[in-house]
Amino acid sequence: MASGTRDITLVAVPGEGCCCVQFVSIPSGFFVLGQRWHKNIGQVDPGFKMCWPFFYRVSHIITRATVTYSAPSRQVPCADNVMVDINLSLTFSIGPSLEDAEAFVYTLGCTRFDEFLAAEVEEGVRGLVYSVTHDRVNDLREEFAQSMLASLSNKFRPFGVQARAHGAPPISSAAPPLLSPPSSPHSFAPRGRTVGRTRKCPSAFQSSSSL
Low-confidence ranges of the chain (pLDDT < 50): 1-4, 175-211
Query: Between the CA of residue 57 and those of 98, 134, 172, what are the distances in Å?
Result: 17, 55, 50
Query: Between the CA of residue 3 and those of 6, 7, 207, what are the distances in Å?
Result: 8, 9, 12
End-to-end CA gap in the chain: 18
Report how far residue 64's alpha carbon sits from residue 9's, in angstroms, rounded to the nearest whole number.
11
pTM of the model: 0.68
Q: Are 61 and 30 in contact (CB under 8 A)?
A: yes
Model pLDDT, residue 186: 40
Model pLDDT, residue 33: 94
